Chain A
């Protein structure tokens, strides 16, 4: 039985590791300048920075400029483009639509957690002034630089977010919160497992050993209480005083912050934020 269970667990472990190895893919372009806003040199530099970031943080980073959205919503256009062009599960796409003068950042997979609503707002505020002035290369450079910071904080387990209960954007249908994923290895779980195992074994053996000796004194004489003879003559509860202590609440991730998500036409979850410039 135990052997069967073990082999089952092993199978599950192996299978869960499979997709990573199977779907290792060749890289897709990071900077797609359909609106021709960048020089070839600029495009190459941005592409290089984006790819190196992708490599470091295992997230796809896409910058897309288009002439027109052809009537589509910026959000759906960005989501669909990301979904339909072979990018990985985790990634972030910056869409710039020239005709509509709109920008949109779409996040997917783990990038949703790395870029909270608050984080995206801040990112937008930082980049938009450059775009408004027509400094597209400057905007994208700042954007990529900033991504580095966001990813780094996320990797540390503290995605940039506003941890204040007062912060609550008006329209939020579905909110997800980042929960730190610890690196679980056999080495990290072994000490606590050993401790639990030791305590369990000790407790069991002690209980077993204790039950080997039933030669014990009686605790009380309650077996010999004459029925109905117990009489509680005095029962007085006198209130003396009270004191109050207060402890500051733990700042809670699940309060106010987080990332709003929606579904793209392809059915995938995306986070995102956009606006005009």
Chain B
């Protein structure tokens, strides 16, 4: 039985027409797409709180479904009742904000993001669905290997704004390494060319503090994808408020902060390697011989960061793109047209060969 003894579902109602409100990244306000009003988050929250007493307590959870569910489904699915139309919203266990499949109203499950699960902060969307679409179309431009039909028959299937749960790690890294290095001098006299190689042993110990290295805490999101749209400007983080989620999807974390530590260690390690690299002055080669990396004072904050996910289909294959909901940075993998690749290869091959031959004939 998909029992929900979790609390209630929030829907931010328009104080004017009582329709569902959605957060708008451009204006940083809640807007009503029916009566075209916009409201400050504070206003709406105050308004909703005053009406909450009646509305939320009226919601009585009953055993919504009488179907038999298998164990797996039971374990992963939860049912909520839409406060607007009373329809049943089925979600998986990590969903914190979604839309009612019947009336389309934005719906939030605050129980998923309260108590110990409450995010420390949220970074509100700064870009809109249109921005995401425009960014995608722009990204398609200037790609000679992109199949012509990919852009021509472009049908963006789905553009979804998601608040993705992220862990922001604060830590300090400590690198202690030894390196073998060489320095090379050349000189000549009338008979010989001389090469003198000086060998050195270098010791380097360095430490640095890192703040807010992000690691996505959702198993649904590909880690590579989430890393590729970094960085976010944390200056715009605000205290968590469910109002920001309205009109977007949101997930709660299902990957504990410890799971990302290995990756954080890697990234801190390469950062320190790069930094230490700049102290190798005047050496021809530097080869590490031993390297000890310690991560100290690890601390993880739980925040929700905005991501646009775009799905498009080409030749029955799904292509997914992700856009940073704050900066608009978009990444993804485009299909490569074999025919165009072959044409480009042949063209460059022939052109360069001809040019090279001509130049050689002229110069030599």
Contact = CB atoms under 8 A, between A and B. Distances in A.
Given A201-B352, A235-B204, A212 B195 contact: no
B224 A240 contact: no
B333 interface: yes
A59 to B, nearest CB: 22
What size tier do the contact residues of chain B reach?
A: 35 or more
Contacts of A20: none
B270 interface: yes
Q: What DSSP secondary structure best describes chain B's contact surface?
A: mixed
Contacts of B350: 197
Contacts of A216: 224, 227-228, 331
Given A232-B276, A241-B199, A245-B195, A13 B361 contact: yes
Contacts of A241: 198-199
A222 B145 CA distance: 32
B208 interface: yes
Listed residue (B143, B181, B353) with the most chain A CB atoms within 10 angstroms of its CB: B353
A240 B211 contact: no
A223 B231 CA distance: 7
A184 B334 contact: no
A244 to B, nearest CB: 5
Q: What DSSP secondary structure best describes chain A's contact surface?
A: mixed
Given A226-B210, A238-B200, A246 B357 contact: no
B287 interface: no
Interface string A194-221: 1011101110110011011111111111
Contacts of B274: 220, 222
Contact of A215 (B212, B273, B332, B351): B332
Interface string A237-250: 11111111111110
Given A196-B352, A233-B207, 19 more contacts: A13-B362, A186-B357, A194-B353, A197-B350, A205-B145, A205-B341, A212-B336, A214-B228, A222-B271, A225-B271, A229-B209, A236-B203, A236-B204, A238-B201, A242-B196, A244-B194, A244-B195, A245-B195, A246-B192
Interface of A: 2, 9, 12-13, 165, 181-182, 184, 186, 189-190, 192-194, 196-198, 200-202, 204-205, 208-209, 211-226, 229-249
Q: Which 6 A-B pairs have the closest CB atoms?
A: A197-B353, A229-B209, A234-B205, A193-B356, A221-B267, A201-B348
